[in-house]
Amino acid sequence: MRSGRLKWFLLAPALIVVFLTTTYPLLSAFYFSLHHWQLSKPDQLHWGELTLDNYMRAFSDSGFHNTVIVTIEFTILSVALSVLIGLGIALILQKESRLHTIVKILLIFPFAVSPALKGYSWRFMLNPEYGIYDQLIDHIIPPLSGTIWLGEPFWAMLVLALSEVWGWAPLIALTFIGALGSISPEVIEAARMDGATSWQVFRKITLPLLKPVILVITMLKAIFSLKMFDQVVTMTRGGPGDSTQTINYYIQQTGFGRSLDIGYASAMSWILVVVLAILAVLYIRFVLRPGEA
Amino acid sequence: MTANSSASLAKSASEIGQSESSIAIRRILAWLVDKVGVLLILGFMILPIFWVTLTAFKPLNTVYSTELLIIPTLNNFRVIFGPAQPIQLEDEYYGASDGFGQYSREDTIGKDMGRLLVNSLIISSVTVLVALPLATMAAYVFSRYRFVGDNALMLWVLATQFIPAIIVVIPFFTLYRQIGLLGTHIGVVIVNLSIVLPYAIWMIKGFVDALPTEIEEAAVVDGCNEIQVLLKITAPLIAPGVIVSAVFSFIMSWNEFLFALTLGRDAVRTLQIGLTTTEGVRGVQWEQMSAVGVVVLVPIFLLSLFIRKNFVKGLTMGAVK
């Protein structure tokens, strides 16, 4: 009964649109990356000549080297902090109580805030003259008073990552709470009877059971961190200097800034695609492992 | 002997007393950790949202301070929804590029945010209206039919979610430049489909998978054909799941920034780009940014509450199968 041609009529429209909006641009950008093509200098473009110059340029471009390091730093910082803080929130909120239920509802809000607004709101709150975060930190940690948060490379990177953590940690916490709920209370009860301390229960029971979820979340978050763009625009503009210039921002500046260098921007995008593809393969293998899909 | 035993009794009694008081201390500590922890979480989570909302209603003289007690005003909203009239500036400021986008950012008195709100609504709604029927049909097939290459097609759709948005923008920018779709609603809608459609297909597939096949099989036995089964039996049953997916798709389009920035340009600025228009030669006008922020947030928060129960499940279903 489920063999008719109907399935292709149902499937085709979606697959055609997915192909045209994702795979076509991917292939198209690869073709662009093999050409000298700046929109500001259209006469340089010769479709017949293929070249690897754009890729060679990426390997010698110190600006690109910098973005690679910045992107790796940002990814490690934001992934590690999101997962750790998410885990902390989950452990505090895992017990059922009315207060916790209300807090759990509020946890969905930061994730729903648009990344562009995340960047602006954090920049506002970190203003060294009238920012609420700046004022709070001045009172709580006096040695840090007078810090120009977005004016020093170290702090700029940290707060950029924190603005990302702000959106993701609550969501990750909710995922962890879901996973913690599936651990049977009898196991923990039994361990306690045998005299295990809370720390031992956490180390020997909770953490091993959460490990698969932590791994999945870490991979997923790493992929999203590598794609991060909006907050760089609204929070740091890549500064101070080029200390928060992530790869997406650098590509956007190359392709759509003054030089409109489509060829080079495409080549750098493809380098990013290769990295993401490796992560995606690992992710899909891991998540869809046992005969699923 | 008796003295010994009584001494040991007293000792054990004091031990019990000690452990009782240490248990009490532990309880108090646990209670404190819980309450302080919750307070810290709330502070961390809510402060930025609270602060932006408060600032949006602040009179201008308290915006650039940490003052909490204010007389709320709607003035900031009046400004951002007011008509855009250029401020008289020195010539040198005009057309000064910040090396960023193609659009020139001009300081204006009003921000004409009503137009941007309409743009955001049009782009997000049309994206959802196009994506959801397509996604539902495809998800149904992926869930219910087995055919050669079905796994490969499904994995391909999943994998497209890992493509960075920047690489989608480049070819569409050059294409739109040639065919005149730069700065049009439809142009932004098309690229939004690149993020929304694959996600919606996987999410709705999750909902269809959760639906038992027996109901559909019974309908076939009763003489329904494939199309009747889909329209009369399956569609109403997965409608709640489709609505949840629609809400997520709407939020994704609503919050989208890069496509609107590079392909929407001046003509179809969305609210997200509206945020950047509060940044002028004199820096960001925070009271205006906050007011735009509130306009950005309110619909999204209402929608999030509406699908609260499905929030985590929905988000992970799209990506974590």
Taking Cα atoms as reference points, which of B125, B74, B79 lies closest to residue B274?
A: B79
Q: What is the pLDDT of residue B257?
A: 93
Which member of B65, B144, B257 has the closest CB to residue A116? B257
Q: Of A95, A107, A122, which is closest to B48 when you measure between CB atoms? A: A122
pLDDT value of residue B104: 40
CB B72 within 8 A of CB B56: no
CATH topology of domain A57-287: MetI-like fold (1.10.3720)
B83-319: CATH, from 3.30.420.10, 3.30.1490.100, 1.10.3720.10, 2.40.50.100: 1.10.3720.10
Task: Round to whole Å and give the CA distance between A203 and A200.
Answer: 5
CB distance B275–A248 less than 8 Å?
no
What is the pLDDT confidence band of residue A28, given thresholds at 50, 70 and 90? very high
Phi and psi angles of residue A155, each rounded to the nearest 5 degrees, phi first: -70, -35
What's the pLDDT score for residue B109?
A: 66
What span, in angstroms and rounded, lies between the C-alpha atoms of B321 and B311? 15
Sequence spans of domains, chain B = 2-56, 83-319
DSSP B56-123: HTS-HHHHTS--------SHHHHHHHS---BPP--GGGTT---SS-SSPP--BSS--HHHHHHHHHHH
Least confident range from A58-67, A88-97, A142-151, A215-224: namely: A142-151
| A197 min Cα distance to partner chain B (Å) | 12
In chain A, where does DSSP find H-type helix?
6-18, 24-33, 53-60, 62-93, 98-106, 108-112, 115-125, 132-140, 153-181, 185-193, 198-201, 207-226, 230-231, 247-256, 262-287
Q: Looking at beta carbons, which residues of chain A come within 8 Å of B31?
A: none
pTM score, whole prediction: 0.85
Range A101-108 average pLDDT: 85
List, as ranges, residues 46-65 from B with C-beta within 8 Å of A.
46-49, 51-52, 55, 64-65
Q: Cβ neighbours of residue B236 under 8 Å, at least 6 residues apart?
A: none
* Nearest Cα to Cα of residue B117 among B296, B300, B298: B296
Q: Among candidates B321, B182, B151, B174, which has minimal Cα distance to B264?
A: B182
User: Closest Cα of chain A to B94: distance in Å?
Assistant: 17
Residues in chain A within 8 Å Cβ distance of B165? 227, 229, 248
Residue B33 C-alpha, separation from nearest chain A C-alpha, in angstroms: 8
Burial of A263-281, coded b for 16+ CB within 10 Å and e otherwise, reads bbbbbbbbbbbebbeeebe
Question: CA nearest B36: which of A189, A62, A92, A154?
Answer: A92
What single letter denotes the amino acid at residue A258? R
Nearest by Cα to A14 from B209, B157, B205, B164: B157
Q: Return the closest-CA partner of residue A109 out of B52, B300, B257.
A: B300
Per-residue pLDDT at B98 = 40
Q: How far is A17 from chain B (nearest CA, A)?
A: 8
- ipTM score: 0.86
Q: How sure is the predictor about A200, in pLDDT bands with cuts at 50, 70 and 90?
A: confident
Put simply, whether B100 touches A (Cβ < 8 Å) is: yes
Of residues A284 and B302, more confidence is placed in: B302
State the smallest CA–CA distance between residue A22 and chain B in angstroms.
6
Q: Which residue has the tokens 């602040």?
A: B58
**What are the sequence ranges of the domains in chain A?**
57-287
Contact B275 A234 (CB under 8 A): yes
Per-position DSSP letters for A207-237, written without gaps between them: HHHHHHHHHHHHHHHHHHHHT--HHIIIIIT
Angstroms from B13 CA to nearest CA on chain A: 21
Give the contacts of B76 (CB within 8 A, at least 6 positions apart). B56, B57, B58, B287, B288, B290, B291
Judged by a CB distance cut-off of 8 A, whether residue B165 touches chain A is yes
Q: Count contacts between A and B (CB, < 8 Å).
A: 268
In chain B, the residue whose alpha carbon lies closest to the alpha carbon of A12 is B138
Is residue B118 left, alpha or beta, with left meaning phi > 0 and alpha meaning psi from -120 to 50? alpha
Q: What local confidence, expressed as pLDDT, does residue B28 receive?
A: 86
What the block records as the tokens of A24 is 């076509």
Q: Say if B168 is an interface residue toward chain A (CB within 8 Å).
A: yes
Task: Look at residue A16 in the predicted model and tell me its pLDDT.
Answer: 96
Query: Which residues does chain B have within 8 Å of residue A129's beta carbon, measured at their own beta carbons?
Result: 64
For residue B168, the chain A residues in CB contact (below 8 A) are 21-22, 25-26
Query: How far apart (Å, rounded) are the C-alpha atoms in residues A104 and A100?
Result: 6
| Best to test chain A binding among B53, B105, B163 (most A CBs inside 10 Å) | B163
Mean of the per-residue pLDDT values for chain A? 86
What is the DSSP-derived secondary structure letter of residue A38? B
Q: Which residues of A touch B193 (CB under 8 A)?
A: 17, 21
What stretches in chain B show pLDDT beneath 70? 1-19, 85-109, 310-321
